[in-house]
């Protein structure tokens, strides 16, 4: 008999993680486990308050599906049963993992992908003063840094970081923290400092200004993009899309969205929330075709789970079956 178990887990962050919307000291995740008596499939999600999600709310929503899972709900039916979001992500990824455990066929092969390759991931620098971020950049030794910005002193931060690491590749994430009035100045500073990509500079509901201004640096949608249905409204405003499984509602939609986004001319970025290796593992399948990979979530934690992903410097390796897939 198939059963569903759901729990909330907490992982302390190494220090404090700050973006334009606030700070946190722990990653709170929801884990879904589907058991069939022999095999266990697992999926992890991060409920995001920005979209009205809470850990308790997502856990309760998933527990409410226990009888349906026991009665035969499968991954295909799940896509219509739940909307895109964290809850569907956890259960969708658990179904992928369970199918792989049952069949012995790796999830990447079931998805029609070649054998997974190790990938270079960005490393995120939390929003801080210009001096602190410059020192963190210098100490990181990372070849690709993602800078959390969104404050009044962003240009000073950019200049200090570039002076500290003149040869490092940089991407910027403003987390909706800029305004239409500051856009041109911030874009110019990013271009001058050699920034390769700018994530979500404006609030999702106020991003029409992006279509009316030159973009000297490619701009990537994050909060403005969720699943495939949101792609059409991005044309002319964005050059790239950040695919996160917690937004798409799981690996199933993320893979389909990646194909549709590429056909529409968008460059792909694959990102993550603050979570453990269990959340990163399925995202690595989508990341195989991405221009920018940002799957450093476990590196920002004080501890990870057992059978964690292997990171060697900036390189993240495919998951072992003991972790997922």
What are the catalytic residues? 148, 244
253-256 long-range CB contacts below 8 Å, 24 or more apart? 253/79, 253/84, 253/92, 253/227, 253/228, 254/282, 254/283, 254/286, 255/111, 255/285, 255/286, 256/228
Cα separation, 276 vs 301, in Å, equals 8
Cα separation, 315 vs 325, in Å, equals 19
From the centroid of its chain, how far is CA 159?
27
Cα separation, 104 vs 102, in Å, equals 6
Residue 205, burial from CB neighbour count under 10 angstroms (0-12, 13-18, 19+): exposed
Rounded to 10 degrees, the C-alpha dihedral 108/114/198/19 comes to 30
Cα separation, 34 vs 94, in Å, equals 6
Best CA proximity match to 228, nearest among 79, 95, 93, 96: 79
Residue 221, burial from CB neighbour count under 10 angstroms (0-12, 13-18, 19+): buried
- What tokens were used for 16? 């404090």
């Amino acid at each position: 008999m198939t059963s569903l178990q759901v729990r909330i887990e907490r992982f302390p962050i190494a220090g404090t993680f700050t973006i334009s919307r606030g700070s946190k000291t722990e990653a709170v995740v929801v884990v879904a486990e589907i058991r069939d008596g022999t095999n266990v499939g697992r999926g992890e999600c991060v409920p995001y308050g920005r979209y009205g999600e809470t850990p308790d709310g997502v856990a309760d929503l998933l527990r409410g599906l226990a009888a349906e899972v026991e009665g035969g709900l499968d991954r295909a039916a799940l896509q219509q049963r739940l909307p895109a979001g964290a809850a569907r992500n956890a259960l969708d990824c658990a179904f992928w993992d369970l199918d792989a455990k049952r069949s012995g066929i790796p999830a990447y092969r079931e998805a029609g992908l070649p054998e997974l390759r190790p990938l270079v991931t960005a490393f995120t620098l939390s929003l801080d003063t210009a001096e602190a971020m410059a020192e963190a950049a210098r100490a990181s030794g990372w070849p690709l840094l993602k800078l959390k910005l969104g404050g009044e002193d962003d240009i000073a931060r950019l200049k200090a970081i570039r002076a500290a690491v003149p040869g490092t590749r940089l991407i910027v994430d403003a987390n909706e923290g800029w305004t239409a009035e500051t856009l041109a100045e911030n874009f110019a500073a990013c271009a001058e400092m050699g920034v390769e990509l700018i994530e979500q500079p404006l609030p999702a509901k106020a991003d029409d200004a992006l279509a009316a201004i030159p973009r000297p640096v490619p701009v990537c949608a994050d909060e403005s993009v969720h699943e495939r249905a949101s792609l059409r409204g991005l044309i002319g405003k964005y050059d790239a899309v950040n695919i996160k499984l917690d937004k798409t509602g799981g690996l199933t939609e993320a893979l389909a969205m990646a194909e549709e986004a590429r056909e529409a001319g968008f460059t792909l970025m694959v990102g993550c929330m603050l979570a453990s290796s269990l959340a990163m593992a399925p995202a690595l399948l989508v990341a195989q075709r991405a221009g920018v990979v940002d799957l450093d979530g476990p590196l920002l934690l004080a501890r990870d789970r057992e059978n964690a992903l292997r990171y060697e410097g900036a390189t993240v390796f495919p998951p072992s079956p003991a972790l997922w897939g």
